[in-house]
Each structure stands twice: as C-alpha cells, then as structure tokens.
Amino acid sequence: MKFIFDLHKTMLENNLILVYEGEFTQEITKSVLAMAERNMDSIGEESSTKRKVFNVMVECLQNIVKHGEDEANKQAIFMIGKENEQYVITSGNPIRNEFVEGLKSKLEEINSLDKEGLKSLYKEIIKNTSISDKGGAGLGFVDMARKSGQELAYDFKPLDDAYSFFSLKTCIRRA
C-alpha cells in the first residue's frame, strides 16, 4: 500500500493536478480537457492563460492519439502541473527508433526560432503540407512553441531495439 502514499507525495511535490496513463483516444482527450478546464475555472484562472493551456493540451494529446495505432502508444502518459508562475504540460510516449532523429531535428529547429521565425514556419507548413501527411510536419509542435513563448523541453530515452521513450514538456506562464 506504500506506493499510494508515494505516488500522492510525488504528485504534490511536482505540483501535478492531473496525471493520465494508458491508452489515448479522442474520447479520453475530451475527458482530460474537460477535467483540466473545470480545474482552471474553479480557481478563476485568467481566460488568456486557460486558452493557451487548452491549446497546448489539445496538440499534445492529439499527437499521441494520431500515432496511436502503434501498440506501444497504448502506454503513454500525460500530466499537467500547476505552479505559482506557470502551467507545465508534459507527455511521454514510446516512439519507434527510426523516428527519433527526424523528431529531434524538428524540435531543434523550432527551439532555434524566435516569435517571427515560428510564425513564418507555421505559415509555410500550413500552406505546403497536405492533411494526409500524418505527422502534420510538426505543425502541432510549432503551435505549442508559439503559445508557450518558451523552448519546448524534450528527451529521448532508449527502451530497446525498436523503441525510445519520448518526453515533451511545454510551459505556459500564468497571466
């Protein structure tokens, strides 16, 4: 029974207001969004902050859903932390090793750009990619970086020959 208390303590220490672990679907996305919205409403969060957090949550959750045909993606994690100064939206999911380099360079590119650079990249992607392009060529990440106004933090931890665990953290300053 000790793990209950340990988990509870970990959540408190990391200011986590919501943790979901398991399979990701559109229905679950909607439930998670509704819970987080209710939580922000109940503390009277600024609407501009609420909208940005909602925005980042959607892109983060739908990213996982979109690639969810992969069996390994049934074990993903999504968390929201609420600190005094900011919200922290984190996700973690296994991805195939062959996608690691591409994803890494995309995130590096995004982090190297300023506000204007992100805006032009966004416009370029939206103009030139078809919707059937499953990854959306990283449009979701660009949007997350724009809404955050800060770099996206990420990490890839090798799991085995086939998979790595991809962690992503986005912060939204509270207005």
Partner 1 sequence: MNIINLEGTEDTPKILLDKDNGIFEISGRSLPEDSQGFYQPILDWIGEYENAANPKTEFVFKLEYFNTASSKLILDVLSALEEIEGTVIHWYYLEDDEDMQEAGEEFSELVDLEFEFKEY
Stretch of residues binding partner 1 (CB under 8 A), selected from 90-98, 101-109, 137-145, 157-165? 137-145
As measured in angstroms, the least distance from the Cβ of 1 to partner 1 is 37
Q: Is 65 in the site for partner 1 (CB under 8 A)?
A: yes
The CA–CA distances, whole Å, from 58 to 1, 5, 61, 102, 167 equal 34, 30, 5, 22, 16
Instruction: DSSP letter for 136, please.
Output: G
3-state secondary structure 45-82: CCHHHHHHHHHHHHHHHHHHHHCCCCHHHHCEEEEEEE
Question: Closer CB to partner 1, residue 119 or residue 173?
Answer: 119
Q: Is 139 in the site for partner 1 (CB under 8 A)?
A: yes
Amino acid identity of residue 163, one-letter, is Y
The CA–CA distances, whole Å, from 16 to 39, 47, 87, 89, 164 equal 12, 20, 10, 10, 24
Binder of partner 1 out of 8, 9, 30, 173 (CB under 8 A): 30
Stretch of residues binding partner 1 (CB under 8 A), selected from 9-17, 75-83, 124-132, 158-166? 124-132
Q: Which residues sit at the interface with partner 1, rule CB under 8 A?
A: 26, 30, 34, 47-48, 51-52, 54-55, 58-59, 62, 65, 119, 122-123, 126-127, 129, 131-132, 136, 139-140, 142-143, 147
